[in-house]
Structure 1
Amino acid sequence: MKLFLAPMEGVVDWVMRDTLTRLGGIDQCVTEFLRVTDRLHPESVFYKNCPELKTGSRTRWGTPVFVQLLGGQAEPLALNAQRAVKLGALGVDLNFGCPAKTVNRHDGGASLLKSCDRVFNIVDTVRKAVPADVPVTAKIRLGFDDPTKCLEIAQAVEEANATWLTVHCRTKTDGYKPPAYWDWIPKIKEKTKIKLIANGEIWNVADFNRCVEVTQCEDYMIGRGVMSNPFIFSQIKQSLNQQPVEDMSWERARPLLPQFFESSTLYINDYFAVSRSKQWLKALSLKNQEAKAIFDEIKVLKKPTEFKAKLHALCGVDHLSEG
């Protein structure tokens, strides 16, 4: 059983992938989407989106990373997939699930779920454009506004010879409102033989176990759950291996923040680091009172030097070992 880190746009960049895969339990990552319109991106854009291309398409801790592409035109997507593979991508994932209004207005993401023919054409064209041994995968929602569409969409993805299909078990119009409708996975299995990865509303080990019970999938993808509990992947692996499950304590999580700030500064700049650190603290605060107290204290700080000093004072400056 493999556990996948979800490709959350504006969240799971190189720094977050590096931070989380260092903690263990993650078997596979996918980049934030690279938006493709009608042109071939230069190599520099691919390296910015996926710095891991320079290290064998793996994080520093050895976790494989696929490049995700998003767009509505098959040929440009195929050309960009070819370039990603040429630069060393271990696989290409196609985004048919992003619910963002801006993306959907510009012929991308979940808007494509309105047409099974377009989904088929894109997957088929990309699949034929890259070597057969390179995985081409797809990520969908249950549909745009009608969950019954997932059956037809999954069949289209299978017919286009995708390697596997990740299903976020909500429609575009559902957004991220709970629950996730895991019960559609068995229905898709009745219509297809493609390997499925279940995604949606896995926040802890108990949620994971319920998802396994309902979907009986081989593999699972987790997104927002890891932002509130960075140890969820290792906890699930401990549970699967019948080992004691370590708690998600603030004492274990807090040293990650100063390190994350420093890495984000080096990656982009210190203002970017302030924004991303606040974002992560807010997510952590959903499940942790200590994190909420710190977030409430520093969320108003805007100057990087002031923010950094306060973050170090409140979270400590201990870094994880480089081992």
Structure 2
Amino acid sequence: MEGLVDAPIRETLTAVGGIDRCVTEFIRVTQGMLPPRIFYKYAPELHNGCETRVGVPVAVQLLGSDPVQMGRHGAKAVELGATQVDINFGCPAKTVNKHKGGCVLMREPELMQQITEAVRAAVPAHVPVTAKMRLGYDDRSMGVACGQALEAAGASEIVVHARSKVDGYKPPAYWEDVARVREAVDAHVIVNGEIWTVADYWRCREVSGCDDVMIGRGLIARPDLARRIRASQRNESVPDMTWPEVVRLVEGYAVALQDRLEDRFVTGRIKQWLNYLRGGYGEAQRLWPEARKIRDVAPMLACLKQPVPVTEAA
């Protein structure tokens, strides 16, 4: 989730609980060797054993199509402290795909294998090399072939987003097709896509046969989703996070961002988050028409903290 799931939001959400691991936004690898400051920009956790402050491990993710350069950058990430190197073969963004990065590489499983082999060869054996992909680019027919290519290259874990590039993010997620990838490889497969509730989590596991899930947008919409899933695994329940509690998370996120960005960009990030929160909280939905017009941080936070009238059911 480029542009939103940055280090401050990783700190915010891992502190809520229930998250086992995180991954950075992708570091785009092209021709030249990136300086260490770029790695630290995307993964400041490198200064802290590649963990968030509450001890949740963070994988450094790379995106690119040049095997040699990807290998060099994988080695540099580990030199700087990375404990897991992840490769992005799943990004569906047009600009990224146009420059032969992300999901478009699923048209070429041989190149995916070469890239992964190069990173695996460049990274010490004790450091996991993992990958994220979709089920294909033009359709969902390439999942098994690409999964097998990644496994042959040495990827120990494969996250599969349960759609093709053409599917975008439109429901449904095709968890049953992830099951076919899981059955075709020995590498650990993690399913991703369309997990918004605890019930979605359990149904996704049943359909895909995967023991583990990666959650993206669902966790942004409901910051306590991982915590509630963890409780459900223990046959326990925890109270849902209230809107005032969410607002306090957003406030903390804004403070952290102000050390990194100009206020106008901070407000933009808050709006991005609020847009997702509309799917989890009626308060966010009702505040959205006013909040989307605000440009400064203080008025934005004041807007979020105002009493929100309860809409009675018809």
3-state SS of paired residue (1:177): coil
Moved more, 298-307 or 104-113: 298-307
CA separation of 1:283 and 1:128: change in aligned 2, threshold 3 A? same
RMSD: 1.4
Instruction: Provide, for residues 227-275 of structure 1, a one-character-per-residue CA deviation record: whole Å limited to 9, x for no partner.
Output: 1100000000000011124224323322212222111111222222101
> How many residues are aligned here?
308
Secondary structure at the aligned position of 1:218 is classed as: coil
Q: Which runs of 5+ in 1 are unaligned?
A: 1-7, 316-323
Pick from 100, 103, 126: which aligns with 2:96? 103
Q: Which residue of 2 aligns with 1:243?
A: 236
Contact preservation (8 Å) 1:93, 1:137: yes
1:231 equivalenced with 2:224 (yes/no) = yes
1:31–1:49 Cα contact (<8 Å) kept = yes
Is the contact between residue 258 and residue 311 of structure 1 (CA under 8 Å) also seen in structure 2?
no
Instruction: Between 142-151 and 43-52, report the one with greater CA deviation.
Output: 142-151
Q: Which amino acid aligns with 2:82?
A: A
Aligned partner of 1:200 in structure 2 is 193
Deviation at 1:189, TM superposition (A): 2.7
Change (3 A) 1:221 1:169: same
Report the TM-score, using the length of structure 2 for normalisation: 0.95
Q: Equivalents in 2 of 1:165, 1:304: separation in Å?
A: 39
Q: How does 1:1-323 map to 2 (within 5 A)?
A: 8-311=1-304
The DSSP-based 3-state class of the residue aligned with 1:66 is: strand
What is the distance in 2 between the residues matched to 1:27 and 1:306?
Answer: 35
Q: 1:298 to 1:54 in 2, by over 3 A?
A: same
Tell me the percent identity: 45
The runs of 5 or more residues in structure 2 that have no matched partner are 309-314
**Relative to structure 2, which stretch is displaced further, 211-220 or 102-111?**
211-220
Render the CA deviation track for 1:7-63: whole Å, top value 9, x for unaligned.
x11110011101000101000000000000011110011000100000110001100
Other structure's SS at 1:255 match: helix
Taking the aligned partners of 2:154 and 2:126, their CA distance within structure 1 comes to 12
Verify the 8 A CA contact 2:23 2:61 in the aligned structure 1.
Answer: yes
For the residues of structure 2 that align with 1:255 and 1:248, how far apart are their CA atoms? 11
Counterpart of 2:126 in 1: which secondary structure? coil
- One-letter amino acid of the counterpart of residue 104, structure 1: N
What is the CA–CA distance in structure 2 between the aligned matches of 1:190 and 1:282, rounded to whole Å? 37
Q: What is the one-letter code of the residue matched to 2:173?
A: A
Distance change in 2, residues 1:307/1:189 (3 Å): closer
In 1, the alpha carbon distance for the partners of 2:302 and 2:147 equals 50
Q: 1:204 and 1:310 mapped to 2: Cα distance?
A: 27
1:5 is matched with none
**Which piece of structure 1 moves more, 188-197 or 303-312?**
303-312
- Within 1, Cα distance between the matches of 2:201 and 2:161? 14
For the 8 Å contact 1:136–1:163, the answer to whether it is kept is yes
Residue identity opposite 1:251 in structure 2: P
Contact 1:140-1:167 within 8 A present in 2 as well: yes
